[in-house]
Amino acid sequence: MMRLILIGLMFSVGVWAQLSAPSDKASLSAGKTQFEIHCAFCHGRGDDGFAANLVSPNLVHAPTDTALVSIIRNGILGTDMPPALGMTEEQMMQVAGYVRSLGRSAPITVAGDAAKGKAVYQGKGGCGGCHMVGGAGGKMGPDLTQIGAMRSPANLRTSIVDPNATLAGGWTMVHVTPKTGAQVNGIRLSEDNFRINLRDGRGRIHSIAKDQTTAITRDLTKSSMPSYQGRLNAKELDDLVAYLFSLRGAM
Ligand code: HEC
Ligand code: HEC
């Protein structure tokens, strides 16, 4: 009996480890239909949605097909990637196969020059004052070290010219007026009924008791990132998008 259970266990673990998304024509076509129903809303055709770019042979969260199906089933905790609703196991496998087929298609090319874009990022753009890349930079915005693997070029471009349209969660700017002393502005780190904790533009952490304030305002629909519309010319913008799109991980 015990041996049977063990064999059964080994067998199911074996099958699980070898999970491989189907790539035959019928499955891909079924997967495409599922993708359009369940995923296109956020991922567009794969590379032109507001969510992660899926037209890539290397998906950060899905190095294996097993991980890919697990993401489709469970979503990615703490992000806008939701768990699949109303999909059968077979449909999840088909959609995984379809996503892999996107990664095998021609890689996306961007118009700009990444090296020149890096200069815009470091110079005129002043982006490093708020963002980190590879451990260097500021903490007033999200770490961009892997941003090219997570966002499409179209989404990156919008993030720069219209930050409010692609607002990333967790970066709410708050303005606190204490009963005594000057107003404090910064990114909200946490908040409960009694206190609000924020980090100001110089990196200092403030923990303020709410009963010691006269006003607290939160910019919930407005990014603290300035729009660069009109501040960068078309060429600089193309180059900057090419640079961001080249950021794929630790360097
Ligand atoms: C409500 C919007 C939304 C829907 C619907 C959605 N996704 Fe996502 N997905 C996202 C977001 C946002 C991310 C990026 C998460 C992050 O910040 O890491 C993401 C990430 C992913 C990733 C990880 C990419 C990587 O580089 O690791 C995969 C794979 C993925 N989605 C596949 C799918 C599939 C397949 C479907 C349909 C079954 C789907 N998504 C439906 C929003 C969505
Ligand atoms: C004053 C600080 C500040 C500056 C300067 C700034 N950003 Fe941002 N950035 C933010 C904040 C805060 C967010 C998160 C809120 C949002 O999505 O707009 C953000 C979001 C982003 C995102 C989207 C990240 C995601 O997860 O989707 C990208 C891409 C980006 N910034 C690139 C840039 C580039 C390129 C520059 C320079 C041209 C720049 N930023 C300058 C603060 C800044």
Ligand 1 center–CA 165 separation, angstroms? 18
The set of residues, in sequence order, having a beta carbon less than 8 Å from that of 43 and lying 6+ positions away, is: 35, 49, 51, 52, 54
Compute the distance between CA of residue 142 and CA of residue 215 in angstroms, rounded to an integer. Answer: 27
Q: Is 132 or 59 the better-scoring residue by pLDDT?
A: 132
CA-nearest residue for atom 43, ligand 2, is 225
Establish whether residue 52 lines the binding site of ligand 1, counting it when its CB lies within 6 angstroms of any ligand atom: yes
Compute the distance between CA of residue 48 and CA of residue 235 in angstroms, rounded to an integer. Answer: 20
pLDDT band per the 50, 70, 90 thresholds, residue 157: very high
Ligand 2 center–CA 166 separation, angstroms? 10
Q: Please, which residues bridge with residue 213 across strands?
A: 178
Establish whether residue 160 lines the binding site of ligand 2, counting it when its CB lies within 6 angstroms of any ligand atom: yes
- What domains are defined for the chain? 2-104 (1.10.760.10), 114-167+225-246 (1.10.760.10), 173-219 (2.30.30.100)
Neighbours of 86 (CB within 10 A): 7
The set of residues, in sequence order, having a beta carbon less than 8 Å from that of 205 and lying 6+ positions away, is: 189, 197, 198, 199
pLDDT digits (tens, 9 = 90+) for 177-207: 999 999 999 999 999 999 999 999 888 999 9
Compute the distance between CA of residue 225 and CA of residue 175 in angstroms, rounded to an integer. Answer: 15
Residues across the chain = 251
pTM score, whole prediction: 0.66
Establish whether residue 216 lines the binding site of ligand 2, counting it when its CB lies within 6 angstroms of any ligand atom: no
Ligand 1 center–CA 42 separation, angstroms? 7
Contact 93, 22 (CB under 8 A): yes
Pocket test for ligand 2, best of 110, 122, 130 (most atoms within 8 A of CB): 130
pLDDT digits (tens, 9 = 90+) for 46-105: 888 888 889 887 788 888 899 999 999 999 998 889 999 999 999 999 999 999 998 876
Contact 66, 17 (CB under 8 A): yes
Compute the distance between CA of residue 37 and CA of residue 30 in angstroms, rounded to an integer. Answer: 11
Q: Is 250 or 52 the better-scoring residue by pLDDT?
A: 52
The ligand with the least distance to the CA atom of 79 is: 1
